Structure 1
Amino acid sequence: MIEARRTLIVTLLFALVASACGRGARAPIAVEDAWANATPAGATVAAVYMQITAREADTLLSATTTVADHIEMHTSSEENGMMQMRPLPEVPLAAGKPFTFAPGGAHFMLIGLRQPLPAGLRFPMTLRFQHARAVTVQVKVIEPGSR
């Protein structure tokens, strides 16, 4: 009887510790709202947008996908009434501060599309960081103008 109680107590303590360890645990990188506009037939490029939040400071180094030959990170800005697009070799991520890739600003440029991107399609995109493990997200393709 004493042995059974001891086993029960040890089991309950183990469950309590395991539960406490899992509480509040967050992924090192959170990615939300990954999307792209649908492309017309014959398009060779597309842009992808999302919000990335790093729990600890990190740097986004690159991205890959199965639907394009390669991905470049760019930023867009208006200068003298003209839109300018410049490459972003990397993106510093401040701890706890979301970095947003959005139309008219930073974006991922899919270059050499291997297929059209019809609305409703979801495709994988893997993000690589300096410190955190790679994160693969599903990008949702939406109708142009629906956002």
Structure 2
Amino acid sequence: MHPISRSIAFAATFAGLAFAAQAQVTVKDAWVRATVPQQQATGAFMQLNAARDTRLVAASSPLTPAVEVHEMAMQDNVMRMRQVPGVDLPAGKPVELKPGGYHVMLMNLTQQVKAGDTVPITLVFEGKDGKRESVQVQAPVRPLNATAAPAGHGEHKH
């Protein structure tokens, strides 16, 4: 191989590695709460950890076209749910999406989501540089009374 070609190949390899390391996000213990018949919405929960400062800005699922990032928060002594533009993920600090806090909301469901099913979800993260990264998650469905996922389920690293 010609020395210039070798240098270009070497630089391209490291440029790809730098990009992969820059936006790395780990998703752990993802799960979705089961629904009852006719229920049209449910939440997805998980732990997110980013290698660099980033932000969860969107989510999607083939289950429904209506997927949003939400927050439960006290307002005037009443717990309210609202859509948020994103959730900040500080570098190296796990952020929990959980019942009663931040979560991914799956809305306008046309079918029941049953315990034991798996829901595919695509999470979209945006770095401080504006570059976006998508992470695919296969989230197992837990019973209606579930408040957390058993350790080691629904993990994905990208």
- Measured against the shorter chain, the TM-score band is 0.7 to 0.9
Provide the residue aligned with 1:50 in structure 2.
Answer: 46
CA shift at 1:36, angstroms? 1.5
SS in 1 for 2:69: strand
**Residues 69, 114 of structure 1: 8 Å contact kept:** no
Per-residue displacement from partner, 1:23-48 (whole Å, max 9, x unpaired)?
xx8x8110011111110111111111
CA shift at 1:90, angstroms? 1.3
Provide the residue aligned with 2:94 in structure 1.
Answer: 98
How is 1:8-87 mapped onto 2 (pairs within 5 angstroms)? 28-87=24-83
Q: Which amino acid aligns with 1:84?
A: R
- When normalised by structure 1's length, the TM-score is 0.77
Provide the residue aligned with 2:138 in structure 1.
Answer: 138
Runs of 4+ in 1 over 4 A off after TM superposition: none
Provide the residue aligned with 1:88 in structure 2.
Answer: 84
Provide the residue aligned with 1:13 in structure 2.
Answer: none
- Specify every segment of 5 or more residues in structure 2 that has no aligned partner in the other structure, as ranges: 1-16, 148-158
Give, in whole Å, the separation in 2 of the partners of 1:101 and 1:138. 15
Q: Which moved more, 1:56-65 or 1:74-83?
A: 74-83
Give, in whole Å, the separation in 2 of the partners of 1:146 and 1:93. 25
Q: Which moved more, 1:132-141 or 1:44-53?
A: 132-141
Q: Which amino acid aligns with 2:87?
A: V
Give, in whole Å, the separation in 1 of the partners of 2:116 and 2:25. 25
Per-residue displacement from partner, 1:95-143 (whole Å, max 9, x unpaired)?
0111111011111111111321000001210011113521000111011
Question: Superposition RMSD on alpha carbons, in Å?
Answer: 2.0
Larger Rg: 1
- When normalised by structure 2's length, the TM-score is 0.72
**Residues 28, 132 of structure 1: 8 Å contact kept:** no
Number of aligned residues = 124
Q: Percent identity?
A: 35
Give, in whole Å, the separation in 1 of the partners of 2:99 and 2:34. 14
Give, in whole Å, the separation in 1 of the partners of 2:143 and 2:89. 30
